[in-house]
Amino acid sequence: MRAVEIEGTTKARPTIVRMHEVPLPDGAAKNGEVVETHTVASALKKLWTVGGFKSKDVVLGMGNQRVIARDLVMPKASLAQIREALPFQVQDMLPMPVSEALLDFYPISESDAESGPMVNGLLVAAVKQSVLAKVDAAILAGLRPLEVDLIPFALSRLQARSHGGPETIALVDVGSSTTSVIILIAGVPQFVRIIPAGGNDVTLAVSMSLEIEEGLAENAKRALGLTPASILNEHRPILEHIHRSTAELLNSIRNTLSYFDNTHPVGNVERIVLSGGGSRLGGFPAALQELTRVELVQSDPFATLTVAKSVGTQPMEIRDSMSVALGLALGAAA
C-alpha cells in the first residue's frame, strides 16, 4: 500500500514532499480488494505514522476486475442529467445489477446523430461493496476520503504531463495483479481496459509449477527476467515458466491495442508509454515493442514534478511504483 503527498498544486511543477509504502499482511487484501477492513485500516495507520504524512485528506484508487470502463454515447445534456439517466441506460452493459453498482460518465467529445446532438464518453461502473470497503478502511484509519478515482484516469493524468502531444499514445501500466491500458489522444483518455493479470501472476506461475516458495520464485524472476532459456540451460525450467506466463500478458496487451485500432477510426496507436513495477522485468519492454511493432518509451513519473530534499533521490523502480498514488494526488489537486 502506497501514498504520496504533494504541495504547490497550483504551480507548474508541484512538489512531492512525502511518500512511503508498507506491505499488507497476507489475506488483508486480494486483487486490489479489501478483505479484512480492520487489518487494512491498521496498515493505513502505520503508513501514515511511519511515512510522516501531514494531510488526512485522501483520494482512493480503484482499478481491478470489479471495475469496468466502456464506450458510451448519450444524448447531449448536462453532466448531472447524464449521470441521473445512467441507471436506465446501461443495465445491459453491466456484469452486475444496477442496484449493486456505482456509475459515472466521463465525457470525451460531441457528435451529431439523426436523433440530435450526442456526447461520446466512457461509462465507469464499479461494484458498490468493493468501493465502500476501501472507504470504510480509510475512515477507520482516521483519514478523510475526498473521492474514489479510477486508477487508469490517475495514470493518464500523471503521464499526460509528459506525453500530452497530439499523437495517439497507449499508457500501459503493469501492476501486481492488474495491467491498465489507457489510450490518450492529445492527452485526453479515449479508451480504458483493465487486464486481470500482472507481475505477480508470473511469480505465482513459477512458484506453483516448480513447487517453490513465492519469495524464491520472485527472486528468480527478477534475476533471470526474459533471458532466452537456451542461454542459461541450468535455469531452463524456471525460464520456461517465466516466458510462458509473461507471453500471456504480452499477448493480452497486444490484443487490447489491436482492438482499439480496429474499432476506433481516430488513428492507430503511435507510441507506448510503459510504467508499473511489473514492467521492470528484464526484457519485458523489448518483448512488448517487438510484439506490437510500436515505438516504446519507459515512463519517469517524477519527470514533471519537483522532489523535496526530504524525499531524496529514488531509484526508478520506486518511482514507477508510486505512479498511481501520484496520479491520485494530482487529481485531488485539480
Q: What one-letter code names the amino acid at 198?
A: G
Mean pLDDT of 137-150: 95
> Cα–Cα distance between 195 and 214 in angstroms, integer?
22
Specify which residues 237 forms β-bridges with: none
**Would you state the pLDDT for residue 331?**
83
Band of residue 230 on the pLDDT scale cut at 50, 70, 90: low
Tens-place pLDDT, residues 54-94: 999 999 999 888 898 999 999 999 999 999 999 999 988 88
Per the prediction, the chain carries an average pLDDT of 90
Nearest to 103 by CA among 122, 83, 89: 83
Q: Percent of the chain at pLDDT above 70?
A: 98
pLDDT tens for each residue of 281-329: 999 999 999 999 999 998 888 889 999 998 988 888 888 889 999 999 9
CA–CA distance, 72 with 62 (Å, rounded to integer): 20
C-alpha cell at 21: 509504502
Buried/exposed code over 8-43 (b: 16+ C-beta within 10 A; e: otherwise) = eeeeeebebbbbbbbebeeebbeebbbebbebbbbb
DSSP state letter for 25? P
Report the alpha-carbon distance of residue 117 to residue 73 in Å, rounded. Answer: 10
Confidence of residue 257 (pLDDT cuts 50, 70, 90): very high
Residue 237 has pLDDT above 90, yes or no: no
Sequence-distant contacts of 260-263: CB under 8 A, at least 24 apart: 260/170, 260/183, 260/191
Instruction: Give the three-state DSSP class for 48.
Output: helix
Q: What is the pLDDT of residue 229?
A: 65
pLDDT at position 272: 95
CA–CA distance, 124 with 92 (Å, rounded to integer):
14
Strand partners, 183: 170, 191
Q: What is the set of domains in the chain, with CATH numbers?
A: 1-56+300-333 (no CATH), 63-139 (3.30.420.380), 163-299 (3.30.420.40)
- What's the mean pLDDT in 228-255? 85
| pLDDT of res. 161 | 84
Is 173 within 8 Å of 155 (Cβ atoms)? yes
Q: What's the pLDDT at 326?
A: 92
**pLDDT digit string, tens, across residues 183-193:** 998 888 999 99
Residues paired with 33 in a beta bridge: 30
The pLDDT score that the predictor gives to residue 60 is 95
- This model's pTM is above 0.85: yes
State which amino acid sits at residue 266. V
